[in-house]
Amino acid sequence: MTAAPVRVLIASALESEHVRRIAAVDPRIEVLHAPELLPAPRYAADHHGTPRNLTRDQREQWRSMLAAAQVSFDFDWSDAAQMPANCPELRWVQGTSSGIGEFLQLTGLGRSEVTFTTAAGIHAVPLAEFALTGLLYFVKDVPALTRWQAARRWERYTTRQLAGMRVLVIGLGHVGRKVADVLSAAGVEVWGVGRDGRADRGSLACATGISSLDDVLPSVDGVVLCCPQTPETEGLLSGPRIRLLPKGAIVVNISRGQVIDEPALIAALADGHLGGACLDVATVEPLPEDSPLWAMPSVLISPHSASTVASENAAITDLFCDNLQRWLGGEQLLNVYSRDKGY
């Protein structure tokens, strides 16, 4: 007796070799993939893209694929909020982002019975590399070097050393732990603040809970924000907490813009209290053209792209294939989104 097929929808741009890998996981898998219906990627590993002008027949084809899908690689680009209605067979969605909590809340999908898994861990290495880049950018005063180069100025100077500095990592999930590993390998004394003050310190010199945040901020040379955005972390690095940091401290945000009080951050940069801010995220994205952050020499801005590398799709496909095997075998999936925690 032939086992019933498991129909897997590819809902965002994915290279053909990765689609073939998904299909090869198990003979029961029937892949639903029509790349001509998906938004056109603007760069490697773009899971949003530019929507195409579909004909009436093509839109009907997409609706038919949605209706048949039991598992989906990513969310419906055309109307994610209506996936429970448009995908009556849907049981599980594999996200391509680590932080999907806010998206699930905005779309109402978090109230559905569908299981969601995240890409947690996939972006840990590139984000850790970016955090190291941000700290070195200001420790080595790259803004001054850039100005001097433009002015053809050759003058010996003294720099600081990152090794031996103390940096606080806020958020001890996949990304925070990798940031701690990378910074520790560079000679940084890494302190960590987690939701529960985890006992497993790993490469951390000190680990504590969020309730101790105010106590540790005055003792660090920099902060790297890696925590998910939840009601508990919104505004976590508030104006008063920014002022608890020593003068000249560096802030790196690879979390979400809402985790920092952005006007307070701007004020602390403007008056010189902070030595620099490296921001992959902003409260409003894209960052508005009139934001003071654009023109600040003490700010390094990345357009929410620090996690995106050319090999991302291969890594996400590895995770998805592993989860597909688990799904078919009735085993616990990796990175299941917790509605209680919000991540």
pLDDT of residue 178: 97
Residues ≥6 apart with Cβ < 8 Å to 292: 266, 270
206-239 pLDDT, tens digit each: 999 999 999 999 999 999 999 999 999 999 999 9
pLDDT of residue 198: 56
pLDDT of residue 99: 87
pLDDT of residue 187: 98
Tokens 């932080």 sit on residue? 99
Q: What is the CATH T-level fold of the domain 124-301, as seen in this structure?
A: Rossmann fold (3.40.50)
162-172 pLDDT, tens digit each: 999 999 999 99
pLDDT of residue 264: 98
DSSP labels, 17-74: HHHHHHHTT-TTEEEE--GGGSPBPSSTT-SS-BPP---HHHHHHHHHHHHH-SEEES
Catalytic option among 17, 89, 285, 331? 285
Residue 35 in this model has a pLDDT that exceeds 70: yes
When pLDDT is averaged across residues 300-315 and rounded to a whole number, the result is 96
pLDDT of residue 104: 95
- Classify residue 260 by its DSSP letter: B
pLDDT of residue 200: 67
56 is catalytic: no
Domain boundaries, the chain: 6-121+309-328, 124-301
When pLDDT is averaged across residues 153-159 and rounded to a whole number, the result is 94
Query: Domain spanning 6-121+309-328: which CATH class is it, in words?
Result: alpha beta
Catalytic option among 160, 201, 304, 326? 304
When pLDDT is averaged across residues 301-322 and rounded to a whole number, the result is 97
Q: What is the CA radius of gyration of the chain?
A: 22
Catalytic option among 47, 256, 262, 312? 256
Residues ≥6 apart with Cβ < 8 Å to 271: none
Query: 226 with 177: CB under 8 angstroms?
Result: no
Structure tokens at 74: 């990513």
- pLDDT grade for 343, boundaries at 50, 70 and 90: confident
Please tell me the pTM assigned to this model: 0.91
pLDDT of residue 196: 63
Residue 197 in this model has a pLDDT that exceeds 60: no
Provide the β-strand partners of residue 278: 252, 300
243 is catalytic: no
When pLDDT is averaged across residues 158-162 and rounded to a whole number, the result is 96
When pLDDT is averaged across residues 15-19 and rounded to a whole number, the result is 98
Provide the β-strand partners of residue 274: 249
Range with the poorest average pLDDT among 80-94, 97-111, 133-147: 97-111
When pLDDT is averaged across residues 51-78 and rounded to a whole number, the result is 97
pLDDT of residue 1: 37
33 is catalytic: no
Burial of residue 151 (CB within 10 Å: 0-12, 13-18, 19+) is: exposed
Domains 6-121+309-328 and 124-301 share a fold: yes
